[in-house]
Amino acid sequence: MPFGTGRLGLFVRRILRRMWFRAALYAVAALVTVTVAAWIGPVLPRSWAARVTEGSVNSLLEIMASSMLVVATFSLGTMVSAFTAAASVATPRASNILIDDPISQNVLATFVGAFVFSIIGLIAMSLGLFGGDGRIVLLVVTVSVIIAVIFTLFGWLDYLANMVRLGEILRKIEAHALNVMTKRAETPFLGGRMFRGQPSGGTPFKTNVTGYVTSIDIEALQDMAYKASGVVHAAVGPGDHVDPDTVAGYTTWAPNAEDQAVLRAAFVIEPERSFEQDPRYCLIVLSEVASRALSPGINDPGTAIGIIGRLQRVLTVWTSAGDGVQPAYGLVHMPALSTDDLFEDAFGPLARDAAPALEVGLRLQKALGALARIGGPTFAEAAALQSARALDHARSKLVLEADVERLKALALDVQSARARS
């Protein structure tokens, strides 16, 4: 499936990640139970109905309603504290990944949904909507919800023990970065063709707003180009900052006011960057954590060394990217990700902050050397540039000339890999 998805698909994905959506499913389950009980109840054996009293079902629902409200409130407070701790332990940008974490979403949705389910069940019981037969159905569903809550609670306790550990936060960031980078490597131009500059006679169009491009509805651009028998050349991609004067792209026809509105709407622009189509942002967040670990107040070079390995793994995925992928949206041209920008986002600030730490500098040069050897000419060039910059930073901070010579030897290996590529 193409990496570029429609605006509707983006909307649906974001809705599915909302806690209230999952909780609403429990409310729907309660309403379905009330409806189905009226139909299924009469066909059940009468002997079953005699064993299920109204008081027993009411008691279960009342216990669940009172306990789930307390548990949901406690869990929400715990999550807020965890997000705050993650921002201080790692980086504020890491909180967004934790907030979207499906485990946290499912836990809160289960607790809140169980509370809503029990309230609807109690209301139905008080209105006399269930006879003896109907209470059997309600009891079965209630017991199923209780079992789901118990299993969720056990998993939640185990999850809380690791939630704010730096290693766990980094694992989630890396997993997200690998996922985004893999999708982008599979479709380097979001399913379109490569943008090669302003077309001859092209008509520019602008976004007319200020912010970051978080997503592009390439399907809408394709449909617009098809109807106009033309081609859309997008000049900006996810992660780029735009303002009202920024040219978002060009069309090979003269778009009218309605076309201009459709073209602008295809570019989702928000105040902050998003992880969904922006692998550069994932690299920036990892690099931020490393820079924070190297700050004088924390002085944790081990974390920075570990993050260099994570950055190396993520960038290795990009070595499989190519422009030979058959485009799904051939009437749309999209800008390519710059390998130089990827390396700068990953290692630029890190090289500066790691200058006084020899052990981090050595690991950085080794990672750049490995990337230079496996990634082809563009990787080798970008790695060599970052290697030279890191060496310059280290020269200005390291006291011993012997330490500088160790770094210089590794930097020469990176330069040699560039010469061989």
The 10s digit of each residue's pLDDT in 227-284 is: 999 999 999 999 999 999 999 999 999 999 899 999 998 998 999 888 888 899 999 9
CA distances from 63 to 67, 126, 144 (A): 6, 16, 15
The answer to whether residues 111 and 68 touch, using CB atoms and an 8 Å cutoff, is: yes
CA quadruple 188, 192, 196, 200: dihedral, nearest 10: -170
Q: How far apart are CA 352 and CA 365, in angstroms?
A: 13
CB atoms within 10 A of CB 318: 22
Q: Are 364 and 307 in contact (CB under 8 A)?
A: no
Classify residue 326 by its DSSP letter: P
Per DSSP bridges, beta strands 193-194 and 232-234 are unpaired
How confident is the prediction for the chain on average, in pLDDT?
A: 84
Q: Tell me how far apart the terminal alpha carbons of the chain are, to the nearest angstrom.
A: 33
For the cut 70, the answer to whether the pLDDT of residue 306 exceeds it is yes
pLDDT, tens digit (0-9, with 9 covering 90-100), for 51-81: 556 677 788 888 888 888 888 888 778 777 7
* Residue 41 pLDDT: 57
Burial call 214-223: b when 16+ CB within 10 Å, e when fewer: bbbbbbbbbb
Contact 123, 41 (CB under 8 A): no
Q: What is the dihedral of CA 134, 137, 140, 141, to 10 degrees?
A: -110
Question: What is the rounded CA–CA span in Å between residue 381 and residue 344?
Answer: 12
- pLDDT at res. 48: 52
Q: What is the mean pLDDT of residues 144-157?
A: 83
pLDDT digits (tens, 9 = 90+) for 175-207: 989 999 998 998 889 889 999 888 888 899 998
* Three-state DSSP state, 399: coil
**What pLDDT is stored for residue 103 in this prediction?**
76
The distance from CA 284 to its chain's CA centroid, rounded to whole angstroms, is 13
pLDDT of residue 177: 92
How many Å apart are CA 410 and CA 400, to the nearest integer?
A: 16
Let me know if 363 is exposed, middle or buried by CB neighbors in 10 A (0-12, 13-18, 19+): buried
**Strand pairing of 193-194 and 332-334?**
parallel
